[in-house]
Amino acid sequence: MSDMTATSSNERQLILFTLGTGSYGIPIENVFEIKKMGDITMVPKAPKYIEGVINLRGNVIPVIDLRKRFGMDKVEYTKKTKTIIVEVKKRQFGLIVDSVAEVVTLNNSQIEPSLPTVSGLKAEFINGIGKLDEKLVIILDITSILQSNEEILIQE
Amino acid sequence: MVNIDERRILEAFMEEVRELLETLNQKLLELEESPHDQDVINEIFRLTHSVKSEAALVGFKNISIIAHKMEDIFEKVRRNVLLVNKGIMDSLFSAFDRIMHLLNSAQNGIDEGSIDIIDVVNPLLEILNEKKAEAGSFTKPKEEKKQSDPNVSESTVLAFSVKKLDSIGAVEFTDIEKNQIEEGIAKGHKFYKVDFHIEDECDMRYPRAYLVYNNFENSGTVIKSIPDILNETNDEKFNSVTLFLLTSSNVDSLKSCADVDQVDKLDMYEISTKAINDKLNMDEAQGTNVVSEIDVESAEEIERKWAEEMMKNSSPELADIDGTNVINIADIKKEAKTANEKIAQKQTIRVDIERLDELLNLVGELIINRSRFIQITENVHENVSFQDLKTELEDATNELERISDQMQMKMMQARMVPIGNVFSKFPRMVRDLANTLHKNLHLDIIGETTEIDRTVIEHLADPLTHLIRNSVDHGVESPEEREKKGKSREGKILLRAYQEGSNIYIEVSDDGKGIDIEAVKAKAVENGLVTQAQISTLPLHEILNFIFEPGFSTKKEITNVSGRGVGMDVVKTQLEKLRGRIDITTKIGEGSKFTIVLPLTTTIVEALLVNVDRNIFAIPISVVEETLKVNINEIKDFDDYQIYNLRNETLAVINLSDLVGMKRKVNSTNEVFIVVISFERRRIGLVVNDLMGEQDIVIKGLDDVLKNNEGVAGAAVLGDGRIALILDTSTLVKAALKEINKLAKDYDVYKDDSGITLSSLYDSLNKGDIKTESKVTLAQHDDDRSKPAKNTPKNISGDEALKKINEIMNDIKNN
């Protein structure tokens, strides 16, 4: 799977999802598939944002609760709760999000560099801010989020 | 970027050359043992030759040069003109090592041509030149080489001339030779015909002719020699010799090439371009030449054709699959270099074709089996009777079980490689170490055909190296010492591998001085691993286990080989990673034996599945001693851990849920299961909610974010899709024991009237040593723990010990 930087055209396709009131996007190149919530096997003594591991067609992959990762309050899983399977540097992860909205195509002119005040996230975790009609979409840099051990907080 | 085909060629080369070198190493060692063995010599000659040409083919110049010189030496050894001695062997070994180094560097993307090789090539050249002096000594007293005046040799005046030549004459060149010529001319080299004559009275003409040939070869490329000097050795035929030479060296330096004793005439002819073209085209006109229309100006074209020709002639496997795409190997190397890209060390494995065929047959059966299942599904829809469906389903399932079992076995076998692949480097290592340490040693290897999983073998090299090094350095005494003790001067080290059940055993034993138990004890106390009082109660194997503690060395002086106290702990952790263990037996004055025990494969493991709350854990069956169903009240609570009276033995028991950091959940029936696991001959019980039975599981690695997770070795996907975490029992139990020991230490300052310390009691309990009837030795500590125990150790029964603990615990709780 290609790296997100490899996008050559001036358009970007994003998977939109929500966490609380916020709207976020992940470049579609990183997304492997979207799954309903299934059994998660808890792993003792794992980092606290790791919810556990799941069986993805015979492979055991870790699942991260993005709410926990961003220091947000825990909510009950609902029917809308989804696991987005992403692939970064040949490693697969599941990301638990409140709901998955849609796939959108943004023109590069619709994307602005990160504004920390808007996103509540450090610039290194953001790939840009997309403007969709009146809505702001925070495009996450999934690679750096997964590789960082630092605590990441989002103010809701 | 290096493209995939080119990469594949380099990879193929690396693999090929590595194999050649491995054999070469082995043969060199054999040669040292028996310097006259003609078979070995011929084999080495062949190997060096292959390495030389392989390396030249992909453009590894330096490797090729070293191999060439080695080949030259063995060419002489082969003809009994040169006899190998220790000095020569040493030079050959260092040359060999340099080739390995160059190869490794190349693999890591470093240009092997940039690494200096003069220091290893010079000794080889000296050996070759000495030989030259020796050859001369047959007819006259041995003298130092005289190269100051190339025109005048001691006994002969060399007649010399250079002429132009417009026609080559009736010499036939092969296609490869022609291409070499074209290539050389394109590079601006000149083409010479060289005639030289050796004195008629000379009785060693071939060696002299060869020397001249070799000198020319060193300053250019000899395309052809008449007579063929590489195949013809009869002195009679070497009166007059003709060489065809491509070179860019000047005439003066070429003249000195013939500066060999009793060569009396040298005529050199510079062959004109026209003569060359005539020759090449004439042959073509006769239809014998596959190369068409040569444009001498176009160097690129020639290089391409050369590469094409090389493919056809020497390396069919290098040709592109469809044969149309010609790969220029010289360019590959250049590109590989510029990209400075590491040629990924792809893991490849050679599998016996028979094994693959068997596997394929099984896949065939699997497909037939699949159609049976499809049939069953159809039958379900067609209202076939339940009884029939049941029978059919059972049958099909049984068959599937059989097929998959066999596939698993065959697949495991396919991953197996002979352990000799690792063993092969040790004879050389022992030889070098013995030389450095001035010891007389013989290494015997038994069972090198024993097969072991590929992944295991890769991680075995380091631990084995440590163990053997230790045996050579610490184990085996110096020849003098051995003589004094009445042993043979030559020490023996035995490396032995064998399979027993589902385990592989690897032994490293020596007949040296053995391990000094008292020294180990003293050191263990000194390092604070154990108290003086405790050590007297420890069994031998536990004392020996201290050797594997980090920083543990009883050797007083540090040698540059070993003795720094690093290594043995690494050996142990490495082996534990492979789910193996190591045992020591030793007898002072007679030697030591280290036995490594490894599972046959690391990817599939037979495991006991257990339940804790809703989670499933897998415990490798190899560590499980037994399982017990007990009432929760039979387990005596003992602060953070518990004890259970197992057939009158005290077993320390830990809740698995505590160990993995989950909440304890009690079954409604008050019944729990204890899984008794043994670890380094210690036993501990794990309390679990339920047992789910045994199953073969395939170990899947966990992602790096979970890698630091102590206690979990991996995960497995079960038949129903659920995931079981595989417990890393050694780490878990170690952690558990540490927990218990810490607890014991906390109470250690507590001293009751009878002078029994808890720590010694706990120790005995952990080991399960306390039996009702058996006596236990207990010692008393003062508050100042550095002082030795105050009272003489005294014996109490296990029952008393337990009672004592309960009393003490009650005391503590009440305070």
Contact A60 B715 (CB under 8 A): yes
Name the strand (E) or helix (H) holding B237. Answer: none
Q: Which of B611, B658, B706 to mutate to test the interface with A (most CBs of A within 10 A)?
A: B706
Backbone dihedral angles phi then psi of residue B518, each to the nearest 5 degrees = -65, -40
A50–B712 C-beta distance less than 8 A:
no
Q: Which residue of B has its CA nearest to A54?
A: B723
Per-residue confidence (pLDDT) for residue A137, from 0 to 100 = 87
Residue B158: pLDDT band with limits 50, 70, 90 = low
Please give the pLDDT value at position A116: 58
Q: Do B703 and A45 touch (CB under 8 A)?
A: no
Partners of residue A17 on adjacent β-strands: A24, A100
CB contact under 8 A, B725 and A43: yes
What are the pLDDT digits (tens) for B583-615?
A: 888 888 888 999 998 877 667 788 999 988 788
Interface touch B709/A44, C-beta < 8 Å: yes
| Residues with Cβ within 8 Å of residue B435, at least 6 apart in sequence | none
Q: Is the pLDDT of residue B704 over 80?
A: no
Annotated catalytic residue B483: no
CB count in 10 Å sphere of residue B248: 11
Residue of chain B minimizing CA distance to A148:
B705
Contact residues, chain A, for B710 at CB < 8 Å: 45
Read off φ and ψ for residue B505, nearest 5 degrees. -110, 130
Query: Which residues of chain B does A45 touch, with a Cβ-Cβ cutoff of 8 Å?
Result: 660-661, 709-712
Contacts of A42 in chain B (CB under 8 A): 615, 662
Active-site hit among B32, B71, B303, B309: B71
Interchain pair A42, B710: CB under 8 A: no
Residue of A nearest to B614 (CA): A41
Contact B706 A50 (CB under 8 A): yes
Task: Give A147 to chain B, closest Cα distance, Å.
Answer: 9
Taking contacts as CB-CB distances below 8 angstroms, the residues of chain B near A41 are: 615-616, 715, 722-725
Tell me which chain A residue has its CA closest to the CA of residue B724. A41
Q: How confident is the model at residue B338 (pLDDT cuts 50, 70, 90)?
A: very low
Contact: A46, B661; criterion CB under 8 Å: no
Shortest distance between the Cα of B345 and any Cα of chain A, in A, equals 18
Is B71 a known active-site residue? yes
- Residue that has been written with the tokens 């039979």 in this structure: B634
| CATH number for the segment(s) A11-143 | 2.40.50.180
The per-residue pLDDT for B533 is 76
Of A41, A46, A146, the CB nearest to B723: A41
Mean pLDDT of B645-661: 79
The residue among A42, A65, A89, A150 with the most chain B CBs within 10 A of its CB, best to mutate, is A42
- Residue A94: pLDDT over 70: yes
Confirm if B706 and A53 have CB atoms less than 8 A apart: yes
The domain segmentation of chain A, as residue ranges, is 11-143
Q: How many CA atoms lie within 13 A of B543 on its CB side?
A: 22
Contact B705 A44 (CB under 8 A): no
Q: Sort out which chain A residues have CB atoms less than 8 A from B727's CB and list them.
A: none
Assess contact for B80 and B26: CB atoms under 8 A. no
Tell me the nearest-neighbour CA distance from A108 into chain B, angstroms.
30
Query: How does residue B709 score in pLDDT terms, banded at 50, 70 and 90?
Result: low
Catalytic residue among B179, B470, B611, B689: B470
Residue B737 has pLDDT above 50, yes or no: yes
The pLDDT value given to residue B150: 43
Contact A53 B660 (CB under 8 A): no
At B101 the pLDDT is 86
Which of A35, A39, A43, A91 to mutate against chain B (most B CBs within 10 Å)? A43
pLDDT of residue B739: 61
Our answer to whether residue B470 is catalytic in this structure is: yes
Contact B700 A50 (CB under 8 A): no
Largest CA distance in chain A: 46
For residue B150, the Cα-to-chain-centroid distance in whole angstroms is 50
Q: Is B252 helix (H, G, I), strand (E, B) or coil?
A: helix
Confidence of residue B371 (pLDDT cuts 50, 70, 90): very high
Closest residue to B705, CB basis, from A50, A58, A59: A50
A44, B711: Cβ pair inside 8 Å?
yes
Q: Is the pLDDT of residue A121 over 80?
A: no
| Nearest residue, CB atoms, B709 vs list A39, A41, A43 | A43
What are the chain A neighbours of B661 within 8 Å (beta carbons)? 44-45
Residue B706 is nearest to which of A43, A54, A59, comparing CB atoms?
A43
- CA distance, residue B575 to nearest chain A CA (Å): 24
Rounded CA gap, B489 and B498, in Å? 29
| HSE-CB for A104 with a 13 A CA cutoff | 23
CB atoms near residue B743 (< 10 Å): 17
* Among candidates B710, B715, B722 on the partner chain, residue whose Cβ is nearest the Cβ of A39: B722
Average pLDDT over residues B507-515: 89
Q: Of B660, B663, B686, B703, which to mutate for an interface test with A (greatest number of A Cβ within 10 Å)? A: B703
A152, A121 in Cβ contact below 8 A? yes
Nearest residue of B to residue A44 by CA position?
B660
Q: Is the pLDDT of residue B74 over 80?
A: yes
Average pLDDT over residues B68-95: 85
A41/B715 CB distance under 8 A = yes
Tens of pLDDT, residue by residue over B197-254, are: 887 777 677 777 877 887 887 778 888 888 887 777 777 778 788 888 888 877 777 7
Nearest residue of B to residue A88 by CA position? B703
Of B768 and B626, the one with more pLDDT? B626
- Within B614-708, residue ranges assigned H as helices are 656-659
pLDDT for the residue numbered A81? 92
Q: Which contacts (CB < 8 Å, 24+ apart) does range B573-578 have?
A: B574/B459, B574/B462, B574/B463, B575/B463, B576/B730, B577/B459, B578/B456, B578/B459, B578/B460, B578/B602
Q: Is the pLDDT of residue B475 over 70?
A: yes
Q: Does the distance separating the beta carbons of B705 and A46 come in below 8 Å?
A: yes
Per CB distance under 8 Å, which residues of A are interface residues toward B?
39, 41-47, 50, 53-55, 58-62, 91-93, 146
pLDDT of B785 reads 40
The pLDDT tens digits of the residues spanning A4-39 come to: 444 446 788 899 999 888 889 999 988 988 988 888
Compare all CA atoms of chain B with the CA of A149 and give the residue at the minimum distance.
B705
Strand B451-453 to B794-797 pairing: unpaired
Q: What pLDDT shows up at residue B507?
A: 92
pLDDT of residue B43: 87
B723 contacts on A by Cβ (under 8 Å): 39, 41, 53-55, 60
Total CB pairs under 8 A between chain A and B: 64
The more confidently predicted of residues B774 and B520 is B520
Subunit contact A45:B661, Cβ cutoff 8 A: yes
CA distance A145 to chain B (A): 12
Q: Which residue has the tokens 């001319």?
A: B185
CA-to-CA dists, residue B120 to B76, B117, B126, B127, B682, angstroms? 19, 6, 10, 11, 54
Which one of the listed residues B25, B32, B49, B766 is annotated catalytic?
Answer: B49
ipTM of the complex: 0.80
pLDDT the model gives residue B729: 76
Using an 8 Å CB-CB cutoff, list residues of chain B that contact chain A.
615-616, 660-662, 700, 702-706, 709-712, 715-717, 721-725
Q: If you average pLDDT over every residue of chain B, what do you get? A: 74
- CB contact at 8 A, A21 and A155: no
SS3 state at B572: helix
Sign of the C-alpha dihedral, residues B457, B461, B466, B472? positive
* Number of residues assigned to chain A: 156
Per-residue pLDDT, B5: 63
Among A89, A52, A67, residue whose Cα is nearest residue A17: A67
- Mean pLDDT check: name the lowest of B82-96, B116-130, B657-671: B657-671
Taken in order A41, A47, A50, A56, is the CA torsion positive or negative? negative
Nearest to A44 among B662, B703, B724 (CB): B662
